[in-house]
Each structure stands twice: as C-alpha cells, then as structure tokens.
Amino acid sequence: MRLDVDKTYKLYIGGSFVRSESGRRDPVADHAGDHVANVPRASRKDVRDAVRIARKALPGWRQRTAYNRAQILYRLAEAIESRRDGFVAQAVRDRRISTRQARAELALAVDTVVYYAGWCDKLAGVLGGINPVAAPYLSFSVPEPTGVVAVVAPPEPGLLGLLTELVPVLAAGNVAVVGLSERWPLTGLDLAEAIGVSDVPAGVVGLLSGRTAEIAPALAAHRDVDALVDAGQDEALGGELGRLASASVTRVSRPPLGDYREDAYRLGLGRLEAVIEMKTAWHPVGA
C-alpha cells in the first residue's frame, strides 16, 4: 500500500522556498473546519529578510524595459493557467464554492494578469506627457515605480483577489512583499510555484503566510518599505497600519471594497496609479 506524501508549505523569499525563521507553523482548515495543512508563520525577521531581498531586486526589475516586464507577466499568466485544475480543486475544497464558480474565478484571475501585463508599456504614454509652460523652457512628466511595496492580501476571493492587488504593483515596475490571507494562505503559497517558473526574477515577489496582525504591522513600520497596499478589509488594523506607516512617510492606499469577481477590463488605472510616482523634469528651449 502506498501512502500519499503530504505537501510541505514554505515561505517564498528571494526566489526560494524557505522555512520560517522561528520554526512556527499554523494549522489551516477548510470551510468545514477539517485540517488541510500546516503553513509557516512568518516572523518579524522573515519580514525584514523579505524586504531586504526585495530592495536588492528592485534596481534590476525597474530597469528592465516595460516590454520585457510585460512578457514576464504574460508568462506568469501561462504558468497559472497550466495549474488551473489544482487551483480550482483547492478553491472548491477549502472555500466550498462550486466548480463552476471556481473556474470562473480562475479565468478572471488569469485575465487580470494579462490585463495589467498589457499596461506595462503604455503607462508612460497615458500618464506621462509634456506640460504647457509659458516660458522659454518646457517640462515633462514621466511615471516611475514607487519602490518596495508591501501588500496586505484580501481575505476573499482567493487567487483572484490576491492577483488583483499584486500584479499592478509588478506591472508598474515595483517589487512586492505580500502578507497572505490568514484564512486562506494555501492559494498564495501555491502561487509561489507558478511565480518560480514564470521568469519573475528572484526577490521581486515575497509571499509570507502567518498571522496578519503580526505581518502587516511589521511591513507598515519597516522604514525600507515605500508604499503599502492595504486590502485586508480590517478597519481597526487598517488604522494601526496607517499610523505606523506615517512615521516613515510610507504611502498607503486602500483599494475600494467590493466584489473582485468583475470583468478584468473594468479595473482601470487606479491600482497602478497608487504605486506610481510622477517625476517632472525641466528643459530649456531656444537659444
């Protein structure tokens, strides 16, 4: 008789699958309360390690051409699509949704990645431009990535919600450290396997499972984090994160609450603009 080999989940930091520094693990249950797996509980040191590695990966990622970043995100969409059956089965088992709904969510998740990949080489043309100036010089503005962006993943709806908040960060040229949903972390940890084979450079994405109340404040207070996308939908925790982020003038954005199950092509530029800075340069004209 052959025994099944249970999957060992690990954090995804620096392009590698690593155990939590503290060795702590948390049990994860499905919708019925039945045990499914154990996941690592990220510590403050894990957060620091992920941010440090992300900072090192930032120059290489932001200096890639927008076209190249788009191609990498397209490859990520392909990698997720190739794991479709696994993501669907996991959503059905854990969240007790129908197979039809799980497939629809997966399709929207892939479409969302493709949608934002398409924006990579269009941001400069849409958001940037030459500014009218009544003087013998001109000024022009160009969008630039904010830098290291921390993301507090939404609790629902699994992969779709996570990618809706993560991919705009990458498309804009930023690197990301993500605190995964505490209730449904397995989807994010499985996503790490797709990221690992999608040509996304090591360190550009860090995925941390564990207690949101421990991970999110550590990210918000970290002085090497440039922006925070708080999609956690916890008002009390959100207030604390805002106060912690203000100490280092970290930019905070909170995506609108609502149903993520919408047409990917209606998402607009809001999530991209939240992690972009505009640089304006002046240039003389004439003699």
Nearest to 54 by CA among 25, 23, 14: 14
Average pLDDT over residues 107-118: 94
pLDDT band at 158 (very low <50, low <70, confident <90, very high): confident
Does residue 106 carry a pLDDT above 90? yes
**Mapped to the 3 state alphabet, what secondary structure does the chain carry?**
CCCCCCCCCCEEECCEEECCCCCCEEEEECCCCCEEEEEECCCHHHHHHHHHHHHHHHHHHHCCCHHHHHHHHHHHHHHHHHCHHHHHHHHHHHHCCCHHHHHHHHHHHHHHHHHHHHHCCCHHHHHCEEECCCCCEEEEEEEEECCEEEEECCCCCCHHHHHHHHHHHHHCCCEEEEECCCCCCHHHHHHHHHHHCCCCCCCCEEEECCCHHHHHHHHHHCCCCCEEEECCCCHHHHHHHHHHHHCCCCEEECCCCCCCCCCHHHCCCHHHHCCEEEEEEEEECCC
**Residue 287 confidence (pLDDT) above 60:** no
For the residues 45-57, what does the mean pLDDT come to?
Answer: 97
User: What is the domain extent for residue 102?
Assistant: 11-284
Q: Residues 55, 224: contact at Cβ < 8 Å?
A: yes
Please state, for a pLDDT cut of 90, what percent of the chain lies above it.
Answer: 64
Residue 4 inside a domain? The answer is no
Percentage of residues of the chain with pLDDT beyond 70: 95
Q: What is the pLDDT of residue 2?
A: 72
- Amino acid code (one letter) for 157: P
Residues written for the chain = 287
CA angle 19, 20, 25 (to 5 degrees): 100
Q: Are strands 25-29 and 129-131 parallel, antiparallel or unpaired?
A: unpaired
Nearest residue to 66 via CA among 5, 25, 116: 116
In the prediction, which pLDDT does 258 show?
66
Whether residue 111 is contained in a domain is answered as: yes
Tokens for 232, please give them: 């956690």
Please give the pLDDT value at position 22: 87
Looking at residue 130, its pLDDT comes to 79
Considering only residues 79 and 34, tell me which one the structure prediction assigns the higher pLDDT: 79
Report if residue 6 sits inside a domain: no
What pLDDT score does 276 carry?
A: 93
pLDDT in tens, 192-212: 999 999 899 999 999 999 999
Task: Give the pLDDT confidence score for residue 221 in this predicted structure.
Answer: 94
Q: What is the pLDDT of residue 128?
A: 78
Residue predicted with more confidence, 269 or 148: 148
Q: What is the pLDDT of residues 216-247, one digit of tens each?
A: 999 999 999 999 999 988 888 989 999 999 99
Given this model, what pLDDT does residue 34 score?
Answer: 84
* Number of domain units in the chain: 1
Mean pLDDT along residues 167-194:
94
**CATH code at position 104:** 3.40.605.10
- For residue 173, what are the β-bridge partners? none
What pLDDT does 266 receive?
66
The answer to whether residue 266 is domain-embedded is yes
In a domain, 5, yes or no: no
| Chain centre distance of CA 75 | 16
Q: How far apart are the first and last CA of the chain?
A: 87
Do residues 152 and 230 lie in contact, with contact meaning Cβ atoms separated by under 8 Å?
Answer: yes
Write down the pLDDT at residue 1: 75
Dist CA 5 CA 115 (whole Å): 37
- Residue 42 domain-assigned? yes
**Number of Cβ within a 10 Å radius of residue 55:** 17
Asked if residue 203 is part of any domain, the answer here is yes
Q: What is the pLDDT of residues 6-41, one digit of tens each?
A: 788 999 999 999 999 888 998 888 888 888 889 999
Question: 164 near 271, Cβ under 8 Å?
Answer: yes
The pLDDT of residue 156 is: 79
Mean pLDDT, the chain, whole residue set:
90
Query: Do residues 145 and 62 lie in contact, with contact meaning Cβ atoms separated by under 8 Å?
Result: yes
Would you state the structure tokens that stand for residue 99, as one six-digit string?
């197979």
In a domain, 146, yes or no: yes
pLDDT tops 70 at residue 286: no
Q: Given pLDDT bands bounded at 50, 70 and 90, which one contains residue 263?
A: low
pLDDT per residue over 116-147, tens digit each?
999 999 988 888 777 777 777 778 788 899 99
